[in-house]
Structure 1
Amino acid sequence: MRFSNMFIPTLRDVPADAESVSHILMLRAGYVRQLASGLYIYLPLGWRVMNRINKIIREEMDAIGAQEVSMPVLHPAEIWQQTGRWDAIGDEMFRLKDRGGRDMCLGMTHEEIMTWLASKEIRSYRDLPQIWYQIQTKLRDEARPKSGILRTREFIMKDSYSFDVSEEALETNYQLHADAYHRIYERCGLRFFMVESDPGMMGGAVSHEFMAPSPAGEDEVAICKGCGYSANVELALSAPSKNNPVDWQTEEVHTPEKRTVQEVSNFLKLPPSYFLKSILLITDSGPVLALVRGDQELHEKKLARVIGSHRPAQKVEVKGILGVEAGFIGPMGQKIRTIADESLRDGVYVSGANKPHYHMKGIRAGRDFQAEWHDIHVAKEGDFCVKCGQSLHVERVIEIGNIFKLGTKYSMPLKAVFLDESGQERPIVMGSYGIGPARIAAAAIEQNNDKDGMIWPDSISPFDVEILPLNIKDPKTMQAADTIYKDLTDKGFEVLMDDRDERAGVKFKDADLLGIPIQIIIGEKNLKEGLIEIKKRRTKEAVRVKVEEAVETYIAGRNK
């Protein structure tokens, strides 16, 4: 492909509203343009990257026996109503009515539709297992679209679904997908982790996420380099550092107008880790008191798995339920359900004294309060692994894929059943597996860039090589460029030739910005010696070779 025939609208200046590196570079290099908040147009270079990623995904999905289908984006509401997600999902679902007044939605995922198809077509255990997949447009009304193509309202997703006779058979398909995902991300040139995760609105008992390390990520994972334990911080278990032993006697301490842990910590000259935070929450079944250590934060999602949906109590509710002002609550003598973090099982603590302007020193679990014990704190850098005791590292990441064991969550309400070998009717056991191709592209840029632009991994670059004839008015330069271009394309390589009548400096800057892995530079000075230059975008290393050896040298370099 010749540069002069392509639409590549590069920008010299950084767009004012772009924040992440991938967003900035994709705009500057002419890969995408923004139509509206969370809506992006993929320009020719950007779409070539997406197609290369999707080709890798298709190859690996086909290799595990998955069959590609295509599902509608527009869904009738009644299928979502049967699973309960029509009401459970909030404003992020795009809803509309057709001309007949029928409720419809735009698909943000396809569990319901895939399961509906299975319910109509699968009859016997002989029809199983099945894996169906698609690469399809999804729509989600994100409250805060950001970071370019990382968080959008319309996006392309590969989603696949497995249908099995049992949980044991599901485990096989789950592992097949996990292995396929590892190969996909490795082929796309990404650094990534597979971590335990929260199934969230998808439901099911087990799920994992694939995360690419990046400062632009909106998630965090806790990783133990000792035993390999890794999990999203929404799920990660950890043990905070232990306090030095103290032998305090129980005593009330006057703490006038000191309500927060930090205020009381400064007043008593004690580290926050010696304090116990009491947080009153309101649930559908009544008030709940949550207890965490003073240097830890309460994890809302972890707690929600224990007590369900909840909200913080208002000040007037605290006074009405516990009979004390917020800021002076303690767990002693409370008659309501109490959930305590595991870190509080041992040690002696300071808490509110259930008395205005007083705190209690010397509080011990078991003696001064009873509680249900759960890990409900946010794992953080420096906490310890609960499996091997080594220190945890917390890293920001981009979610690039997820896998879920759905079980019978969708097959039961949608009556997707089969007859087993004894003729008994049983629900199909399902799994769901998603990959975001755009997230792969963005993560690749986040992990591979320098001050001059992006540096694409070979496998997903829009072109394999870029030829830069520095003076297109020189016949010898263009003859060499055309010869190399033809030889490379004849061998099946995707080649971009910058045939614009531009200064060499402009071509070099654009080539570095576009990030194509190899540059073949043809200049008059080298040609006088019968040489051209082959330069690696990543390392800036360059070698001079004879014109007739250019293609063989390029191929040899790719195969290293």
Structure 2
Amino acid sequence: MPNDAETVSHQLLLRAGLVRQVAAGIFDYLPLGQIVKDKIERIIREEMNAIDGQEVTLPMVHPAEIWQQSGRWYEIGDDMARLKDRNGRDMCLGMTHEELIAELVSQVVTSYRQLPFVLYQIQTKFRDEPRPRAGLIRVREFTMKDAYSFDRDVAGIDAFYPRIYQSYFNIFRRCGIDVIAVESDTGMMGGTMAHEFMALTPIGEDTLLLCDNCGYKANRQIATFQKTAVAGGEAQPLVEVETPNVNTIAALADFLQIPETATAKAIFLMAEMQNNAGELYEQFVFAVIRGDMELNETKLTNAIKARRLRPATPDEIRAIGAEPGYGSPVGIQRDKVLLLVDDLIPQSTNLVAGANR
């Protein structure tokens, strides 16, 4: 048994002879595994056909121009496997097919009278996952069913969404898998709403927030909650206080004998951004939240439309006039900074924060 087969599901796949690992995140499907895979695909096809889906097969190798037109050629990082053909033309392995399906429909649909319709495919995809794990749970090469509805208007989309939503429950039920649907981040796909179908397991990587009383279900990445402002009394004059060797919120609250709700936390990040010409650049981001809160990087990334975030280095922090461990928005070089402030901050008075020294 390979040392990296840490999950029971991965171990059983190998012991039963369903799959064989070729490389990290890349597997052979052996005869028994192919039988199981074929059965799953048959169930998916039956449920897609039941909502009037029409099956297509789009190529796995995509020309770069189609991705460049959407802008995602520049937005997606190392997850996309890029290559050149013998003529030096940029290509990539398909990690998703929105660009290809949009190009197809733009060429064959000439009138609104041809709408609505649903296209779907079951196709191989490749995403260069940095940390493949758990057997077939997180892989680099995988088979994916993707479906696309084309409607005349938003009302048509709204009418179709519950049908595809229910079809997914039908698929999992027929496969014997208990799932719940939760609100989720739209990610690289974009859009205004998304649901993920989650199977609860101890080896899962996501954290879900579920409310038994109201039925709210959401991935922690996008979940919203009721935030309570803490009354701090009448606003007091700005006062500097010596806090030697106190460079964390917990240490600051302990040193001053105050709750963490009476503090403001400074978080320094560098965001990879893209301008209208498709050029990449880095933007210094300064986020301010109440001391007892945690920054949700998914929400921040979406809010500023960043490609990715990374922690700012001490030198980068000092370059904007701030001091690592003692950060404050007061006195920084604002022209170099994208400053974001959580809505709890203006609702709170007399917060204790760093003084940049």
TM-aligned CA distance change 1:255 to 1:211, over 3 Å: same
Deviation at 1:244, TM superposition (A): 8.3
Give yes or no for contact 2:263–2:290 (8 Å, CA) kept in 1: yes
Q: Partner letter of residue 253 of structure 2? A: S
What is the alpha-carbon distance in structure 2 between the residues aligned to residue 177 and residue 140 of structure 1? 25
Structure 2 partner of 1:83: 70
Could you give the per-residue CA deviations for residues 180-208 of structure 1, whole angstroms, max 9, x where no partner exists?
11211222222222222222211222222
Q: Partner letter of residue 57 of structure 2? A: S
Could you give the per-residue CA deviations for residues 428-473 of structure 1, whole angstroms, max 9, x where no partner exists?
xxxxxxxxxxxxxxxxxxxxxxxxxxxxxxxxxxxxxxxxxxxxxx
What is the alpha-carbon distance in structure 2 between the residues aligned to residue 339 and residue 355 of structure 1? 17
Give yes or no for contact 2:320–2:333 (8 Å, CA) kept in 1: no
Match for residue 22 of structure 1 among 9, 20, 44: 9
Where 1:206 maps in the other structure, the secondary structure is coil
Structure 2 partner of 1:211: 198
Could you give the per-residue CA deviations for residues 250-300 of structure 1, whole angstroms, max 9, x where no partner exists?
654321011111222332344433321022445569654311122222112
TM-score, structure 1 normalization: 0.56
Structure number with greater CO (CA < 8 Å, separation at least 6) is 1
Give yes or no for contact 1:252–1:353 (8 Å, CA) kept in 2: no
Structure 1 partner of 2:149: 162
Structure 2 partner of 1:387: none
Runs of 5+ consecutive residues of structure 1 not aligned to the other structure: 1-13, 357-560
Structure 1 partner of 2:160: 173
TM-aligned CA distance change 1:313 to 1:108, over 3 Å: closer
Q: How many residues are aligned here?
A: 342
TM-aligned CA distance change 1:290 to 1:69, over 3 Å: same
TM-aligned CA distance change 1:244 to 1:22, over 3 Å: farther
Indicate whether 1:303 and 2:291 are aligned. no
What is the alpha-carbon distance in structure 2 between the residues aligned to residue 39 and residue 66 of structure 1? 29
Give yes or no for contact 1:137–1:156 (8 Å, CA) kept in 2: yes
Deviation at 1:228, TM superposition (A): 1.3
Structure 1 partner of 2:171: 184
What is the alpha-carbon distance in structure 1 between the residues aligned to residue 128 and residue 270 of structure 2? 29
Give yes or no for contact 1:327–1:352 (8 Å, CA) kept in 2: no
Equivalences for residues 246-257 of structure 1 within 5 A? 251-257=239-245
Q: Partner letter of residue 162 of structure 1? A: S
What is the alpha-carbon distance in structure 2 between the residues aligned to residue 46 and residue 22 of structure 1? 13
TM-aligned CA distance change 1:297 to 1:349, over 3 Å: farther
Give yes or no for contact 1:276–1:349 (8 Å, CA) kept in 2: no
What is the alpha-carbon distance in structure 1 between the residues aligned to residue 284 and residue 329 of structure 2? 13
Structure 1 partner of 2:274: none
Deviation at 1:347, TM superposition (A): 4.1
Indicate whether 1:352 and 2:350 are aligned. no
Q: Partner letter of residue 262 of structure 2? A: Y
Which is higher, the Rg of structure 1 or of structure 2?
1
Match for residue 328 of structure 1 among 319, 326, 329: 326
Q: Partner letter of residue 249 of structure 2? A: V
What is the alpha-carbon distance in structure 1 between the residues aligned to residue 80 and residue 283 of structure 2? 30
Q: CA RMSD in A?
A: 2.6
Indicate whether 1:235 and 2:236 are aligned. no
TM-aligned CA distance change 1:342 to 1:228, over 3 Å: farther
Deviation at 1:148, TM superposition (A): 0.8
Indicate whether 1:290 and 2:287 are aligned. yes
Give yes or no for contact 1:192–1:211 (8 Å, CA) kept in 2: yes
Q: Partner letter of residue 118 of structure 2? A: I
Structure 2 partner of 1:73: 60
Indicate whether 1:106 and 2:93 are aligned. yes
Q: Partner letter of residue 58 of structure 2? A: M
Q: Partner letter of residue 307 of structure 1? A: I
Q: Partner letter of residue 289 of structure 1? A: F
Indicate whether 1:340 and 2:341 are aligned. yes
Structure 2 partner of 1:277: 265
Deviation at 1:26, TM superposition (A): 1.4
Q: Partner letter of residue 266 of structure 2? A: S
What is the alpha-carbon distance in structure 2 between the residues aligned to residue 40 and residue 349 of structure 1? 58
Deviation at 1:167, TM superposition (A): 1.4
Where 1:48 maps in the other structure, the secondary structure is helix
Deviation at 1:111, TM superposition (A): 1.4
TM-score, structure 2 normalization: 0.86
Runs of 5+ consecutive residues of structure 2 not aligned to the other structure: 272-280
What is the alpha-carbon distance in structure 1 between the residues aligned to residue 258 and residue 214 of structure 2? 34
Where 2:136 maps in the other structure, the secondary structure is helix
Indicate whether 1:149 and 2:136 are aligned. yes
Bigger CA drift: 162-171 or 304-313? Answer: 304-313
Could you give the per-residue CA deviations for residues 492-543 of structure 1, whole angstroms, max 9, x where no partner exists?
xxxxxxxxxxxxxxxxxxxxxxxxxxxxxxxxxxxxxxxxxxxxxxxxxxxx
Could you give the per-residue CA deviations for residues 356-388 of structure 1, whole angstroms, max 9, x where no partner exists?
3xxxxxxxxxxxxxxxxxxxxxxxxxxxxxxxx
Where 2:163 maps in the other structure, the secondary structure is helix
Structure 2 partner of 1:221: 208
Q: Partner letter of residue 148 of structure 1? A: G
Give yes or no for contact 1:239–1:343 (8 Å, CA) kept in 2: no
Deviation at 1:179, TM superposition (A): 1.4
Where 2:241 maps in the other structure, the secondary structure is strand
Structure 1 partner of 2:248: 260
Structure 1 partner of 2:103: 116
What is the alpha-carbon distance in structure 1 between the residues aligned to residue 258 and residue 109 of structure 2? 65
Q: Partner letter of residue 267 of structure 1? A: F
Q: Partner letter of residue 290 of structure 1? A: A
What is the alpha-carbon distance in structure 2 between the residues aligned to residue 176 and residue 73 of structure 1? 28
Bigger CA drift: 311-320 or 47-56? Answer: 311-320
Give yes or no for contact 1:194–1:209 (8 Å, CA) kept in 2: yes
What is the alpha-carbon distance in structure 2 between the residues aligned to residue 186 and residue 243 of structure 1? 46
What is the alpha-carbon distance in structure 1 between the residues aligned to residue 44 and residue 171 of structure 2? 6
Equivalences for residues 547-558 of structure 1 within 5 A? none
Deviation at 1:308, TM superposition (A): 3.4
